[in-house]
Amino acid sequence: MRQDIRNIIEKNRSRIIDLTRDLVKINSENHPPVGNEGEIQRAVVSGFEWSAAEWKSRNKPRKGGLGGGLPFSKL
């Protein structure tokens, strides 16, 4: 399993770096009782929604089982 994860990371290295850069650019500083977390929350939720839709389109359920693979945000 560890090797599988390493392979996924290596295969998607540039996409992971780009995603990290994009997330770091978003102001998410918290200033209680309010803060700037809304934009980062929307970005993460949007990424998960995209990931789920992409995963569903790539992993059609097989007869007698689930689709193969895990949803990774934009990977």
DSSP class per residue in the chain: -HHHHHHHHHHTHHHHHHHHHHHHHS---EETTEESHHHHHHHHHHHHHHHHHHHHHH-PPPTTSPPSS---TT-
pLDDT digit string, tens, across residues 29-69 = 888 888 888 888 888 888 777 777 777 777 666 554 444 44
CA angle 40, 42, 48 (to 5 degrees): 105
pLDDT digit string, tens, across residues 22-38 = 889 999 888 888 888 88
Cα distances (angstroms) measured from residue 56 to each of 5, 14, 69: 20, 23, 10
